[in-house]
Amino acid sequence: MPSPDLSIDDDLSGLYAAHSSWLQQWLRRRLGDSFAAADLAQDTFVSLLSSATPREAIREPRPFLATIAKRLVAHRHRRQLLERAYLEALACLPEALAPSPETQLIAVQSLQEIDRALDGL
């Protein structure tokens, strides 16, 4: 008798094989960027893998995957806006007061972590 974990992996593998190409194309049409679409499609399946949603409860896989992907696109967009606002604020600073590139990266990563934490509330 196969272990429950193996059957879950098989279910997810089948779901991935059947719908990953469709999801990438769907995302590519919305984003206009094949690399971002591929990343978000993978993130969608990673999100599904880490969720508590039973695979047998997914009756309509494409709308279900599209819903997860839409949320990830919204998160991506929000992170980009946050990063852009920070970089614009930095551009307004006199060069002598501007933080180093390393400090800027740390600040952007910190803002992203705060965004994720707030999103989880």
Segment 14-26, tens digit of pLDDT: 889 999 999 999 9
Yes or no: say if 23 and 44 are a contact pair by the CB < 8 Å rule.
yes
SS3 93: coil
Residues above pLDDT 70, as percent of the chain: 88
Segment 68-96, tens digit of pLDDT: 999 999 989 988 888 888 888 888 888 88
Q: Write out the DSSP string of 50-81.
A: HS---GGG-SSHHHHHHHHHHHHHHHHHHHHH
Residue 22: per-residue pLDDT = 97
Residue 10: per-residue pLDDT = 63
Segment 45-61, tens digit of pLDDT: 998 888 877 777 788 99
Residue 38 neighbours by CB under 8 Å, 6+ apart: 24
Domain map of the chain by residue range? 4-119
